[in-house]
Amino acid sequence: MGTRTVIPFGPQHPVLPEPIHLDLVLEDEKVVEAIPKIGYVHRGFEKLVEKMDFNELVYVADRICGICAFIHSMAYCQGVEAVMSVEVPPRAEFLRTIWSELARLSSHLLWLGLMADAFGFESLFMQSFRIREKIVDMLEEMTGGRIILGVCRVGGVRRDVPNDALADIVRRVKDLGVEMHRLADVFLQDDSVKHRLVGVGVLIRDQAAELGCVGPMLRASGVSRDTRTLGYAAYGSVDFAPIVEKDGDSYARCAVRIRELFQSVDLVAQAASKIPGGEVGVKVSGYPEGEYHSRCEQPRGEVIHYVKGDGTRYLQRYRVRTPTFANIPALLRMLQGCELADVPVLVLTIDPCISCTER
Amino acid sequence: MKAFAKSPWVLHYDASSCNGCDIEVVASLTPLYDVERLGVINTGNPKHADIFLVTGSVNAQNLMVLRNLYEQMPEPRVVAAVGICATSGCVFRECYNVMGGVDTVLPVDVYVPGCAARPESIIDGILQAVEILEKKHAYMKSMHGRMKEMTIGRATAVDAPEILALQKIVYQNEAEMYDDWSLAPLRQTLDDLRRDFETRVFIKAVVGGKIIGSVKGIMDGDTAHLSRLVVHPYFWKQGIGTRLVQEVEASFPKAKRFETFTGQKSRHTMEPYQRLGYLPIRQEKVSEHRDRVYFGRDREGA
Amino acid sequence: MTSLAFLIALPLVIAMLLLVFRPRVVRSVIVIAAAVVIAVGSLSLLLPQPGFLSAPFQVPAEYLDWIVLGVELALAAFIFFLGIRHVRHLVSLLALLQAGLAVATEVLFGSRIEVATLIAADRFSLIMAGIVGIVGSLIAVYSLGYMKAYHEHHREYRDRQPLFFFLQFVFLGSMFGVFFANSLPLLLLFWEITTLCSFLLIGYNGTAESRGRAFLALTLNLLGGLAFAGAILFLASTAGTVELDKLISMEKGAALIPAALLAFAGMTKSAQMPFSSWLLGAMVAPTPVSALLHSSTMVKAGVYLVLRLAPLLRGTIPGTMVALVGGMTFLAASLIAISQSDAKRVLAWSTIANLGLIVLCGGIGTYEALWAGILLILFHAVTKALLFLCVGTFEQKTNTRDIESMSGLIMAMPKLSIMIQIGIAGMFLAPFGMLVSKWAVLKALVDSNPLLVIFVVFGSSATLFFWVKWMGKLLEVTKVRQADESGIAGRQWVALGALSAISIGLVGFYPLISAQLIEPYVRGIYGQVAMISQGNFIIMSIMLGMVALFPITFFVYQKNVRVVDAYLGGGNVDSSVLFQGAGGQVKSMEMRNYYLTRLFGERRLSLAGGIACAAFIFVMFGVAL
Amino acid sequence: MSPLDTALLAIVVVVAAPIAGGLLAGIDRKLSARMQSRWGPPLLQPFYDVRKLFRKETIVVRRSQNFYVYFFFVFMVFTAALFFTGGDILLTIFALTLASIFLVLAAYKASSPYSFIGAERELILMMAYEPMVLLAAVGMYLVTRSFIVVDIARSPQLLALRLPGLFIGFVVVLVVKMRKSPFDLAASHHAHQEIVRGITTEFSGRTLALIEIAHWYETTVVLGMAALFFAALPWLAAVAAGCVFFLILLVDNVFARVKWQVALATAWITAAALGVGNILVVFFLR
Amino acid sequence: MNPREHQTIEEIPAAALLERVQKMRSEGWRLVHAACTRLVADQEVNYCFDRDGQSLDSPDSATLRGMHTLRVRLPMIDPELPSISSFYWPAFLYENEMHDLFGITVKGMAVDFHGHLYTTMVPTPYVTKEPDHGD
């Protein structure tokens, strides 16, 4: 008989919103080994370039992931625009920025909710989702989609939003900021929450860098890297600094994401106040030729959309490297020696988006 | 008494969805939509669930997962395909790793539209599923009472259409199991089956006027060859197969030996024989994924 | 009267016979016949026979004193040379000291002391004799089958079965001696014989490991023996008596020192902390030895002595210290048992714990505590013997005694598994014996010293944990296994079956035993007695009736159900235990009980418990002196 | 009370306790939902759930697994009857433990990884709350000189005044006993847990319904015990039970689930500090 | 106004890969991702690196950014590569992916899934290019 407990964790598991599988080897409740199996969501859409032209592919990019749908399509469009040297009108760039930040708000609130759920704090989960629902409403008002917005296109965006509507959005987002403060207090101050987060899954600065972490995972370990500082879309025109925490544990990651909520509120306001007038899209002609790695900062970190065209309607290669893909090695490292009860917390701490990862 | 209408418990599984529908499933549990108003609980456990909400499309890797989860749900159960991917595959339909909608592996009862499906549609889907649950339960109950009245007896050529229909249902399962759609029982025509009645003995199990199981046998020398033991999946693991085999054995009083064969993975077919003491004789390959295992036993005292 | 001497002498005679007639068949006949006679004999004492209980047995004291001293010196010499030969000088020293004390007692005070009652029996002795008689003979019968298989499995050990059975019967005889002796030197003699038997049986396998363990046991028990001899010397010098009954009826002040010394001897014998290590070490012996000596009888001699002293200890500080040692041992040993996966070690720690509980009762010394303590001895002896023999049988069949390998035993060895379940249920579950006794202990403590309640409540909760997880292990089925209980001798089944039946039977009959034996004894000392109210007994009988229905479920299977695979996150591969693992492999799930080693590690807790108990013992002597 | 009266009372208890327990469960869900800014299910939702479960097919992993649950149920009913007819409180606690052990064994028998871990965790939790519960009974005895529920209830003293530490400690372990956050490690009411549904993972249909009903009995018994601290003033006892229930509900909604080490330490330290401290005070002031 | 990154590509022979990667590492480059592209006659493998400013937490490091790609060309038949996971441990994920989807044998991966990172219905789906574009 075994001297250890071996249990399958997933692919279907109530704490996993998405299917991954871990062979957990336990001694009492201590995880001594966690071997992952992924690929349950693998569809293989990168190969769709052979069947869909570069414009149609925006619909696919929009559906890579339901959480960062907009940023995916934006990163794809930026890639194609770079290859084709399309200049996007500034108003479209600002709208992209606003929507990106609202998507980040929605994603972080979703993450907070799921995290609360993972450590068994149901009412906190409900409250996070209650607030998130208001963000989703705003997105729906502006774009027509709750989850998958479908407003980005090569050369701009499909819809304009009147300035007074934007002002209204800014007011409402700021109001939400007050509610988010109350939420943040619980996440950052509550003792039972701290018990579940502080010191769990610690990655020191060097480890995080070595493991190739991106996004809040990296910033929570004290590395100030945020792809938005590249200044894509309208990020060059707004004022912000990457949010960094030092401790590198689950609590620090939570803190980074919570602080980013307020940062996003601020960025939405800044972008809305600076937004210029004019068109929201240009007509694009010709076919892409050349290659470009388009990088954007998703709620989960840096995403890479690599597009390579050979001058036909069909791209030669389209490849997406999502932040979760970069964070999985860190997850494997963190799972060693944790408690069984920490497994869902650790899985969630990287804010996994398996759908993007496996494509 | 609409017991199911007031307490539909759901199981959610993300087959290969983009997350969009999953988030909306979760969102429908949360304050704005709060499906718990309607008694809905997201159980996360197939053993407790009534409604299986599947998002995303089917691929090679999650196919077995979906089957397992469905198999582990107690009757009555309903499958709801949530979102377009689960319905047809959406934009990913042409991807090399997408087999199609959920209905390629599971009997889907409700299709929920939307990309991503909106919480309102999901709730509507649950309410539709509830209706179906009630119907299935009514059917289950009517069958349950009648299990005791099950009769087993000789079938005649008149029963051929019903037996053929049953055979196709059962072998559909087999075909999926072996990924081999060329199985003879699936291709058999009605006339062909009718002709079998001239040479072979058919035994049928009848509940409430419906044939739910059958088996056939033919004498060859001292040996009776039994084959095509089929029981409607709903009635599996209730000993019906065993009773059918016993009955068909009894109809060959002169046989000294009984033989049969099944596919190497067909646990449901093997079980009744093994329980009656049939031992494997040999195994031979019939197609890439399918082996045929021959079983036999001598009659007691023979 | 003769029957008391007869019970002591008969096993000794049989032991000699076994040494002479060595063929296996003859041995079987002798052992079985002797077992029947001893069992019947010890039970017959329990029948009302007016008069004999108090009748003194007159032997010219001069002779006997010298005979006892002679045998004792011979034992001491034997041990002394053992110590020399194996370079265990501490052992030699202890033997020498003890012999010196015995000689000193005899030379200095021997002529002045008249022993009025050499051997006697009251109801308490008779209960103990009954336990030893029945459990001991059942174990002897069991050993016949077990030892044969044992030597077939373990070719590496020399087959010394005649010696084995010789020792077993010598041991039985001397146990009767311990319970019937009223003269303390005689008691000490029998006491030391059991120690020596234990030493020889622990070292039976003859390996270096077993010899080391045997010497550990010997050393610690000799330490107790030394205290015992000291108590006799002290008693002889101050009170001019060496009789147990006289000691107990003495004034508390004067008797405290010998009482403390005797309690100390009792605590070493019953492996209280910090002396518990020898009992763990003793588990290398063949399992019937563990069952007989190290759980159900010999170690009970220690608690027997402590309970005898209960009236003296009641309400005194040394008594409280004894109680604290018992309570601490109960708590620490119960917690440690959580971290053990070797079935015999679990049983050993649980034995230590329960002995601790009995010592606790003795230290409290109230009538309720005494009543509870005697009940505990009774239930524990039977149930623990059953459990040990079951584990032995399991080991004989599978060559392991790891609890984890008992997974699915309910299918592999259904009969044995049910017997283990009975044993386990008997150890902690309502309404079985041990729980009843613990309940009584709790009530006794509440009235006397509620501080001690803390040991009992925490200790029992730990008990619950390790027993239930063991039960669960027996019941879970991860692999379908064919039942196979062949190769276990019929005699073994007889012993196991009888012990199981007694374990259950006692639950129904203990009120009778209590009313006939325990209550009169307790009333005789204190003039009042505790008992379980009739209403509660009826309720417990109802519970027993319901629990008794339970084994039906082992055989009845539910019809009209659909059997589906266990939930494995949807990853099942045509099975309840196999799942699609990472790297394309099909893996089997495994389940291992929790042992919480980091929290309840043996080393840490036994160190802490040992230190605490040693402190209590120092305080005990300090106050007594 | 005559035996006949006792029997009649027992029957009333057996009928009324699950109704009360089910309503409490309904109130629990409703209030929890309100605390989470949701509308929540109907008050009678627990009864709807059970009614539905009785209509489901019976599926098992091991054919004998459900028997253990039947015994769990029967002993839970027995416990309730024993307690509310005024039996011995220690015996009630033992019967309650016995019942819980049957549920744990059922989970072992089901032999699935998650029910197994649930069973292990449940045992840890039982180990955690058992001392405090027993200490509460001991404390009641020290004040009233009786272990009999009827006598305790008739005692003119307001136990909570003499035993405040024990009462608080008892409420703490009640959170464990009622499977509420932060101590809902073994089988959470909420769906999302790392061990799926823990002990009940493999039980479905009517067996699950029986577990649910047994929990209703359990709720009434443990709240009854809490009320016993105020038994001298019956109206206060009822209010106290209600307050305790509400408090536990509130705690359930404002805590994250802790790990087993913390659960065990909390319960034991509470028992050792509040429980034993209180008992010593009572003993020496007597 | 969208500032495009300065992205450079350096084509190197497969044999020089390890040496080059080691150098990148010693210069403090970060592995951003690695991926294959199936061309008409052969295939290319891209290893993309980027480097922040001198100090990782300098907030204005954006100005110093730039992406550098090492490109290795491989034949269509039996492509083989050494693993770079000894320099960049997380690279094993990309390499397993190359193996599963493009059929490239990568030698010495830190964690080898043995072709089970993805279970695909078509083995190494990217090896063949669909001929018709449907237009």
Residue E56 has pLDDT above 60, yes or no: no
On whether both C535 and C400 belong to a single domain, the answer is: yes
Q: What is the rounded distance in angstroms from the CA atom of residue A204 to the CA atom of residue C527?
A: 73
Domains of chain A by range and CATH?
A: 41-354 (1.10.645.10)
| Cβ B44 vs Cβ B85: under 8 Å | no
Q: What b/e string do you get for B207-216 counting C-beta neighbours within 10 Å, with b at 16 or more?
A: beeebbbbbb
Put simply, the chain C residues between 420 and 439 with a CB less than 8 A from any chain D CB are: 429-431, 435, 439
Give every CB contact of residue C545 below 8 A, 6+ residues apart in sequence: none
For A331, residues 6+ apart whose C-beta sits below 8 A from its C-beta are A36, A346, A347, A350, A352
Q: How many other C-beta atoms lie within 10 A of the C-beta of residue C279? A: 28
| Chain C CA closest to residue A28 | C594
Separation of alpha carbons E118 and C499, rounded Å: 59
Could you report how far apart the first and last alpha carbons of chain C are, in Å?
Answer: 38
Q: Which residues contact E96 (CB under 8 A, 6 or more apart)?
A: E106, E109, E111, E112, E113, E117
The pLDDT of residue B146 is 67
Q: How far apart are CA B102 and CA B186, in angstroms?
A: 22
Q: pLDDT value at position B301? A: 61
pTM recorded for the entire structure: 0.88
Cis peptide before C431 (omega within 30 of 0): yes
Of all residues in chain A, the one with the smallest CA distance to B34 is A126
Type of residue numbered A329: P
Q: Pick from D30, D25, D71: which is nearest to D180 by CA? A: D25
Whole-angstrom CA distances from B33 to A47, A142, C376 are 38, 21, 61
Domain count along chain D = 1
Cα-Cα-Cα-Cα dihedral sign, residues A59, A65, A68, A72: negative
**d(CA B236, nearest CA chain C) in Å:** 8
Indicate if the pLDDT at residue E53 is higher than 60. no
Separation of alpha carbons C367 and C314, rounded Å: 9
Instruction: Please tell me whether residues C341 and C303 are part of one structural domain.
Output: no
B64/C contact by beta carbon, under 8 A = yes
Q: Given this model, what pLDDT does residue E63 score?
A: 44
Q: Do chains E and D touch (3 or more CB pairs under 8 A)?
A: no
Chain centroid to CA A134:
18
- C264 lies in a domain? no
Distance CA D195, CA D121 (A): 10
State the Cα torsion C378-C379-C381-C382 to the nearest 10°.
Answer: 120
Alpha-carbon distance values, D239 to C111, D230, D233, D244 (Å)? 77, 9, 10, 9
Please report where in the chains the tokens 């998958």 appear, as a residue: A148
Domain residue spans of chain E = 7-107
- Which amino acid makes up residue D260? W
Of D36, D54, D208, the CB nearest to B48: D208
Q: At what angle do helices B119-146 and B20-27 cross, to 10 degrees?
A: 80
Chain A residues 85-124 with a CB less than 8 Å from chain D: 116-124
Number of domains into which chain C is organized: 2
Burial readout B140-166 (b: 16 or more C-beta within 10 A, e: otherwise): beebeeeeeebebeebeeebbebbbeb
The identity of residue C517, as a single letter, is L
User: D270 lies in which domain range?
Assistant: 3-284
d(Cα E42, Cα E74) in Å, to the nearest integer?
A: 6
Across the range A121-139, mean pLDDT stands at 90
Low-confidence ranges of chain D (pLDDT < 70): 1, 188-191, 286
What CA–CA distance (Å, rounded) separates C583 from D253?
A: 41
User: Do D47 and D246 contact (CB within 8 A), yes or no?
Assistant: no
B221-252: pLDDT as tens digits: 888 888 888 888 777 767 788 888 888 888 88
Residue (of B150, B169, B173, B159) closest to B216 by Cα position: B159
Q: Residues C516-526: pLDDT tens digits?
A: 888 888 888 88
Count residue pairs from A and C with Cβ separation < 8 A.
65
pLDDT tens digits for range D78-88? 999 989 988 88
Sort strands E67-74 and E7-12 into parallel, antiparallel or unpaired: parallel
Sequence length of chain C is: 625
Q: Are residues A246 and E79 in contact, defined by beta-carbon separation less than 8 angstroms? A: no
The whole-number mean pLDDT for each consecutive block of 10 residues of chain C, a chain of 625 residues, reads: 75 87 86 88 73 50 75 88 87 89 83 76 86 90 89 85 90 90 88 91 88 90 91 86 82 81 91 89 88 85 90 87 92 92 92 92 88 90 91 88 86 87 86 82 84 89 92 82 78 89 85 84 82 76 79 66 81 80 81 86 89 90 82
pLDDT above 70: residue B147: no
* β-pair type (A152-153, A156-157): antiparallel
Of the CA atoms within 13 Å of residue B228, those in its CB half-sphere come to: 24
**Helices marked H in chain E:** 17-26, 91-97
C289-319 per-position pLDDT tens digit: 888 888 888 889 999 999 988 888 888 888 8
Phi-psi domain of B237 (left: phi exceeds 0; alpha: psi -120 through 50; beta: other): left
- In C, residues 444-503, which contact D (CB 8 Å cutoff)? 446, 450-451, 453-454, 457-458, 460-462, 464-465, 468-469, 471-473, 475-478
Tokens of B176: 């999926």
Alpha-carbon distance C533 to C552, whole Å? Answer: 30
Q: Which two tokens stand for residue D42?
A: 């109907």
A14/B45 touch (CB, cutoff 8 Å), yes or no: yes
Do C510 and C437 form a contact (C-beta atoms < 8 A)? no
The yes-or-no verdict on residue A322 having pLDDT over 80 is: yes
Chain E interface disruption, residue of B16, B57, B58, B61, most E CBs within 10 A? B61
State how far the Cα of C163 lies from the Cα of C169, in Å rounded to an integer: 10
Residue E129: pLDDT band (50, 70, 90) is low
Is the separation of the CB atoms in C179 and C125 below 8 Å? yes
Report the share of chain B in percent with pLDDT over 70. Answer: 95
- Asked whether residue C25 is domain-assigned, the answer is yes
User: Does residue B299 or residue A138 have the better pLDDT?
Assistant: A138
On the question of pLDDT at B138 being above 60, the answer is yes
DSSP 8-class letter at B57: -
Q: Enumerate residues 6+ apart whose C-beta is below 8 A from A321.
A: A303, A304, A306, E32, E33, E35
Q: What are the φ/ψ torsions at residue A50 (nearest 5 degrees)?
A: -75, -15
Report yes or no: B68 at the C interface, CB cutoff 8 Å.
Answer: yes
CA distance D4 to D8: 6
CA-to-CA separations, E106 to B76, E77, E99, in angstroms, rounded: 50, 14, 7
CA-based R_g, chain D, Å: 18
Helix (H, G, I), strand (E, B) or coil at C365: coil
Q: Does E90 touch chain B (CB under 8 A)?
A: no
Residue D222: predicted pLDDT: 92
Calculate the average pLDDT of chain A. Answer: 87
| Final residue belonging to a domain, choices C277, C307, C337 | C307
- Helix (H/G/I), strand (E/B), else coil: D178: coil
Domain span including residue C96: 1-259+285-307
**Contacts for A129 with CB less than 8 Å, ≥ 6 apart:** A109, A110, A113, B26, B27, B30, B31, B32
Instruction: Report the residue of chain C nearest A11, measured CA to CA.
Output: C569
Judged by CB atoms closer than 8 Å, whether chains meet at C565 and B71 is answered as yes
The mean predicted confidence, pLDDT, of chain D is: 88
Selected residue of D52, D59, D63, D199 to mutate for chain B interface (largest B Cβ count, 10 A): D52
Report pLDDT for C335. Answer: 93
Query: Which of these, D115, D123, D163, lies nearest to D139 by C-alpha position?
Result: D163
Fold annotation for E7-107: Beta Polymerase; domain 2 (3.30.460)
* Residues in chain B, overall count: 302
Residues of B in contact with A125 (CB under 8 A): 30
Q: Which residue has the tokens 């020596």?
A: C196
State the chains in contact with D (3 or more Cβ–Cβ pairs under 8 Å). Answer: A, B, C
Residues C290 and C329 in one domain: no
The alpha carbon of residue B292 and the mean position of all alpha carbons in its chain are separated, in whole angstroms, by: 21
Would residue C526 count as lying in a domain?
Answer: yes
CB-based contact B47 D203, cutoff 8 Å? yes
Q: Is residue C601 part of a domain?
A: yes
Option in A2, A8, A36 nearest C592 (CB): A2
Instruction: Tell whether A130 lies on the interface with D, counting CB pairs under 8 A.
Output: yes
Phi-psi region of A290 (alpha: psi -120 to 50; beta: other; left: phi over 0): left
Q: Which of B274-283, C85-94, C546-555, E9-18 has the lowest mean pLDDT?
A: C546-555
Q: Which residue of C has its CA nearest to B15?
A: C570
Check CB contact of B44 with chain C, cutoff 8 Å: no
* Three-class secondary structure of residue B239 per DSSP: coil
Residues C371 and C299 placed together within one structural domain of the fold: no
Q: What is the pLDDT of residues E81-124, one digit of tens each?
A: 888 888 888 888 888 888 888 888 888 887 777 777 777 777 77
C61 and C168 inside one domain = yes
The string of pLDDT tens digits covering residues B119-137 is 999 999 999 999 888 888 8
Residues C239 and C105: beta-carbon distance below 8 Å: no
